[in-house]
Chain A
Amino acid sequence: MIEFIPPAFIYILGALLVPLLRGRVKATYMLILPAASFVFLVSTQVGTAWEINFLGFDLVPFKVDRLSLVFGYIFHLISLIGIIYTLSLKSDLEYVAGLVYAGSALGVVFAGDLFTFFVFWEMLTVSALWLIWARRTKASQAAGFRYLMVHVFGGLVLLAGIIMYISEQKSISLGFIGLHSPATYCIFIGMGINAAWPLLHSWLTDAYPESTVGGAVFLSAFTTKTAVYALARTFPGTEPLIWIGAAMTAFPIFYAVIENDLRRVLSYSLINQVGFMMVGIGIGTELAINGAAAHAFAHILYKSLLFMSMGAVIFRTGKINATDLGGLYKSMPWTALFCSIGAASISAFPLTSGFVSKSMVLDAAAHGHMSIIWLTLLFASAGVFHHSGIKIPFFAFFSHDAGHRVKEAPASMLVAMGIAAFFCIFLGVYPGFLYSILPYPVDFVPYTAPHVLSQLQLLMFSALAFTLLLLSGIYPAEIRAINLDADLLYRKGGPLFYKAMAAVLNGMNSLVDQIFITRFIGSISKFTRHGPANLLLLIFRPYWKLCRLEGPEQEEAKEKLYRRVEAGILPLSVMGLFAMAYLGLLYLL
């Protein structure tokens, strides 16, 4: 009897068979993969570790503990939902990339050593890339390329850190690292790039909105949450994470308010939500780590639900900008309903998943008497309701009717959204299920009268603000425009750097070419061509003078001499003359 099969193996090896299958067999096979992997995972004991000795290193490609299990469970669930969602899209490239991508995320989560961790971490980037490129537009190609560049850079920083760390520690095992040396700072930043920290975040808001309809569902779930897991594993209780996280919750919501592309709005709010997880990890208490893990679990479901609903809108209307949408509730009522459930969850309305998870992080901050952090998180909570909770459903499905009369989303998309919506409410109504799989025992009661009331007040008065601003015309009109972000640095800076370097280096090149190649080599070649002839002229001129050779005749003789010397066909006597002169000189001296 096999004791365990690592999920990454099932996903990644299983993905390779997908293009060979057809029709219903393919669909069934793809649904069985996550289900089978999940069955194996559930039957694996906590504490299981598969150890291999490889070239003197103790590799642990598969290790199960409670922290990795939370992420393992949700990654299985969301990949199943994602596969159902993409069944109507019929794109082998996306199926294979999606499965390898999910498998790589599971590989990271169950990695017990830094080597395995890094290999899967890099596979995550490579497979995600195809979910962006599969859109096959010019914008997606460019965004995918930038995505690759940023993550290759992040991967190298991480690799540098890991190599230094291994040589410091003399061990490759993966566990608590903590900030204490250049190596650990490199690892910290390498992970931070994937977690979309402020100023390192723009790959996310740049690439996700350009990915395919189904790709965005996978992308929104794995890369950042894998980084959340990695930081929770290696840097729990690292104080800078609290401040980084608080900044992450606050700044993207300003962008989200003025952004026109609704999937980009969701991307900004994704960063905002990951910020809550960062704060939880930074605080590092059992409640806070539980909160971060619970929030990751809940977040993956409602964020992918929102991306699914926006994907369905693109699929049917071909549009995603708020300026082109509105009134879709008439033709896509189910999608509108599921989107609203996702929107309520991300806003943390009582009886939805966001309410039972986000409040753990806020409570952990309050426990630690971090008033500024707490107020920032509260501000971000109101803000996220504003842009994700209201703006997304309002501008897509309600607002003024843009006149789209389309069909409802395909059945497979509705089923996938339905499952995600079910879990959003199920976790909110029955938080005990979520709390029972968290890394630490949970002593937290989300449903107290004051807590429910204060959350409802916060949200409903935010809704009032939205309503009044909208009715008074102050709410910023959606404009066909883009907004500059940190990617300006490399999208404008990159070409600028290229031009500057081209000017400087090419300038140096042509200068050196001028001096050495054209002038110096030219004069050497001239010298070697005419030098001997000029020497001979010194002798021949007096001789010609004696012979009274003058004018044109002398010129002719000179021409002849040059030709002969250059062609190397001097009469022997000339050389003999030289030899005589030379020997005579020696004799005299």
Chain B
Amino acid sequence: MNSDKKHVFDNPGNVRKVLYGLFASLVLLLAIELFIHGHPYFAWEEWFGFYAIYGFVACVLLVLAAKYILRPFVKREEDYYD
């Protein structure tokens, strides 16, 4: 097939563009929050950037716990049950 053809993410510049796009959208999302006020059920929903921080922290904790706590306990060779 066309193994020599350059694809979109073969160019590091394009990967950088995706990353910059991500960072820009994050800033934008936080900026918009200044203008939008909902009717929250819980007090903490009113804290600035609650969802952003929660999502970030949740994922970091998830990965760290999975890597450093769960994996050492449960990891076995692929032929463990054979």
Contact residues of A with B, CB < 8 Å? 253-255, 257-258, 329-331, 366-367, 369, 371, 374, 378-379, 382-383, 386, 398, 405-407, 448-451, 453-467, 469, 474-476, 479-485, 491-492
Residues of B with C-beta under 8 A to A483: 70-71, 74-76
Contact of B55 among A457, A474, A482 (CB under 8 A): A457
Contact of A475 among B45, B55, B63, B74 (CB under 8 A): B63
Question: Is the beta-carbon distance between B59 and A465 smaller than 8 angstroms?
Answer: yes
Residues of A with C-beta under 8 A to B36: 449-450, 453
**Whose C-beta in chain B lies nearest to the C-beta of A390?**
B59
Bound complex: CA A100 to CA B64 (Å): 44
Majority secondary structure of chain B interface residues (helix, strand, loop or mixed):
helix
Residue among A460, A463, A481, A483 having the largest count of chain B Cβ atoms under 10 Å:
A460
**A380: min CB distance to chain B, Å:** 9
Question: Is the beta-carbon distance between A366 and B80 smaller than 8 angstroms?
Answer: no
Interface residues as binary, B40-51 with A (CB distance below 8 Å gives 1, 0 otherwise): 111001000111
Question: Is the beta-carbon distance between A383 and B62 smaller than 8 angstroms?
Answer: yes
Residues of A with C-beta under 8 A to B59: 382-383, 386, 461-462, 465-466, 469
Tell me whether A461 and B26 are in contact in the complex, defined as CB-CB below 8 angstroms, given that A382-B58, A481-B78 are known contacts.
yes
Residues of B with C-beta under 8 A to A448: 38
Question: Is the beta-carbon distance between B54 and A458 smaller than 8 angstroms?
Answer: yes
Residues of B with C-beta under 8 A to A369: 41
**Whose C-beta in chain A lies nearest to the C-beta of B67?**
A476
Bound complex: CA A457 to CA B59 (Å): 13
Bound complex: CA A451 to CA B39 (Å): 10
**B10: min CB distance to chain A, Å:** 8
**A138: min CB distance to chain B, Å:** 9
Tell me whether A461 and B53 are in contact in the complex, defined as CB-CB below 8 angstroms, given that A448-B38, A482-B76, A484-B74 are known contacts.
yes
Contact of B76 among A462, A474, A484 (CB under 8 A): A484
Question: Is the beta-carbon distance between A366 and B75 smaller than 8 angstroms?
Answer: no
Question: Is the beta-carbon distance between B56 and A461 smaller than 8 angstroms?
Answer: yes
Bound complex: CA A465 to CA B62 (Å): 10
Question: Is the beta-carbon distance between B51 and A476 smaller than 8 angstroms?
Answer: no
Residues of A with C-beta under 8 A to B29: 453, 456-457, 460
Question: Is the beta-carbon distance between B60 and A469 smaller than 8 angstroms?
Answer: yes
Question: Is the beta-carbon distance between B45 and A454 smaller than 8 angstroms?
Answer: yes
Residues of B with C-beta under 8 A to A481: 75-78
Apart from the given pairs A379-B58, A457-B55, 7 other A-B contacts in the complex at a CB distance below 8 Å: A330-B7, A366-B41, A382-B54, A457-B52, A467-B19, A469-B59, A483-B70
Question: Is the beta-carbon distance between A461 and B75 smaller than 8 angstroms?
Answer: no
Residues of A with C-beta under 8 A to B11: none
Question: Is the beta-carbon distance between A460 and B22 smaller than 8 angstroms?
Answer: yes
Tell me whether A474 and B75 are in contact in the complex, defined as CB-CB below 8 angstroms, given that A374-B42, A450-B37, A458-B54 are known contacts.
no
Residues of B with C-beta under 8 A to A457: 29-30, 33, 49, 51-52, 55
Residues of A with C-beta under 8 A to B64: 474
Residues of A with C-beta under 8 A to B80: 482, 484
Residues of B with C-beta under 8 A to A484: 73-76, 80
